[in-house]
């Protein structure tokens, strides 16, 4: 397993890019999983469902399974947020794990940048950024710059620059 992340300001198009690059990677025969960092109040469960009732009743973990998928919800119940490396250790083996968010964690990242957002580039402050995918040329940028719509080249960069996951899992 190898890992790489997407880093960028809100509205840069990270999720949109993932929706385009994942099918490209899968078409190349790669298996891909993603980890998305969310704000604290996110919920994937629905009031009125049995799993929601179990969780509200105090269950620490609720696993929902069917013939098509399963989901495991784990309530932290006041415990600290687990670091990225602990979450990665919970994944089944795949060729590539792409992380959206967790931009302060130490792993290689492709920066997603939209000039129209008016935000500064992240890479000058983050030595883990290996390239920038942007919607316009970025003269003077020290890293490789890839057009945001060049999905094949972005897929190449993700595969080449991804790091072995073992380097992040040490100490788990």
- Say what the pLDDT of residue 169 is: 66
Judged against a pLDDT cut of 90, whether residue 70 lies above it is answered with: no
Element (H, E) at 88: helix 84-89
d(CA 156, CA 40): 33
- Say what the pLDDT of residue 46 is: 82
Judged against a pLDDT cut of 60, whether residue 142 lies above it is answered with: yes
Band the pLDDT of 146: cuts 50, 70, 90.
very high
Whose tokens are 């990225």? That residue is 84
**Structure tokens given for 2:** 């190898």
For residue 143, is it left (φ>0), alpha (ψ between -120 and 50) or beta? Answer: beta
Mean pLDDT of 25-49: 87
Judged against a pLDDT cut of 80, whether residue 171 lies above it is answered with: no
Judged against a pLDDT cut of 70, whether residue 138 lies above it is answered with: yes
Average pLDDT, the chain: 91
Please enumerate in sequence order all residues whose Cβ is within 8 A of that of 112, keeping only pairs 6 or more positions apart, or say none: 6, 7, 8, 12, 13, 14, 17, 132, 133, 134, 148
- Say what the pLDDT of residue 8 is: 95
Residue-range domains of the chain with CATH: 2-40+80-169 (3.40.50.300)
- Say what the pLDDT of residue 97 is: 96
Nearest to 163 by CA among 81, 106, 123, 111: 106
- Say what the pLDDT of residue 172 is: 45
Band the pLDDT of 170: cuts 50, 70, 90.
low
Tell me whether strands 129-134 and 145-147 are parallel, antiparallel or unpaired: parallel
Judged against a pLDDT cut of 60, whether residue 43 lies above it is answered with: yes
- Say what the pLDDT of residue 40 is: 67
- Say what the pLDDT of residue 16 is: 95
Please enumerate in sequence order all residues whose Cβ is within 8 A of that of 21, keeping only pairs 6 or more positions apart, or say none: 98, 151, 154, 155, 158
Digit-coded pLDDT (tens) for 77-126: 889 989 998 999 999 999 999 999 888 889 999 999 999 999 999 999 99
């Amino acid at each position: 397993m190898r890992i790489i992340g997407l880093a960028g300001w809100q509205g840069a198009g990270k999720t949109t890019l993932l929706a385009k690059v994942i099918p490209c990677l899968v078409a190349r025969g790669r298996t891909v999983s993603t980890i998305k960092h969310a704000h604290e109040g996110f919920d994937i469960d629905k009031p009125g469902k049995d799993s929601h009732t179990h969780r509200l009743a105090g269950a620490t973990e609720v696993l929902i399974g069917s013939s098509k998928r399963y989901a495991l919800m784990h309530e932290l119940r006041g415990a600290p947020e687990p670091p990225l490396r602990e979450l990665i250790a919970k994944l089944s083996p795949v060729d590539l794990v792409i992380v959206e968010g967790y931009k302060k964690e130490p792993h290689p990242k492709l920066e997603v940048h939209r000039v129209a957002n008016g935000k500064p580039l992240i890479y000058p402050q983050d030595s883990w950024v290996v390239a920038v995918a942007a919607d316009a040329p970025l003269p003077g940028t020290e890293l490789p710059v890839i057009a945001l719509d060049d999905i094949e080249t972005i897929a190449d960069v993700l595969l080449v620059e991804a790091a072995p996951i073992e380097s992040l899992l040490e100490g788990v």
